[in-house]
Amino acid sequence: MPKTEKKYPDWVQKHRAKGTTVKKKGDSYYLYKRTSRRVKGKKYPQPVDTYIGIITPEGVIQSNKKKISLTDAEVWEYGFSKAVWELCPDDWKRPLGDDWEDVLSIILLKQSPTSYIQRNRTIKKESDFRYQFMAQTASLSRRIYKKHGIGLEELHKLETIYLVCLDKVEIISRVHEEQEELLKKIQVALEMC
């Protein structure tokens, strides 16, 4: 059975070069670069279309916007964990020696199970240490309060500030006015990790 070609107006047809494809949505025509890739479990290569631009009677208007795939998007809690990490006092770290980062990571995961900390760190188990983590958490909260006038409970207001990772792009979610004031009070800047 012969493959039927789609009929497009002449001004669209002239932009259909080898390695491209045209898609019509409504009354508009869009030009895409067409390639393919092997997909495990599929018999034939699967098409991959990369958006070039919209086709008009005057020509192709190329897009300078980059499309980002949301299929691999990751969302991590960021505000609370970042603030606690930044505010962690030296007098709490010192007695723990080289273990302080691991202990703090475990505390953060207990306080915020979706913390971004686990994104780039291998988190050890509590059983790898001989510390009493409830006591360490209480001590950390007291020392942060003593130094900065704020405890872990109040810092939990920052939990709804997320790190959103899309492909190679990282963005921080919206920071509400109350959270902005708290961040200014504790002098923590939420830059990319």
pLDDT in tens, 153-165: 999 999 999 999 8
Q: How many residues does the chain have?
A: 193
CA–CA–CA angle 54, 57, 63 (5° rounding): 20
For the segment 168-192, the average pLDDT, to the nearest whole number, is 89
Task: Please report which confidence band the pLDDT of residue 2 belongs to, taking 50, 70 and 90 as the band edges.
Answer: very low
Of the chain, the percentage scoring pLDDT greater than 70 comes to: 92
Residue whose entry in the numeric block shows the structure tokens 């007291």: 142
* Mean pLDDT across 160-180: 90
* pLDDT tens-digit readout, 115-140: 999 988 888 998 999 999 999 999 99
pTM of the full structure: 0.63
Reported confidence tier of residue 5, pLDDT bands at 50, 70, 90 = low
Tokens for 94?
Answer: 């010192």
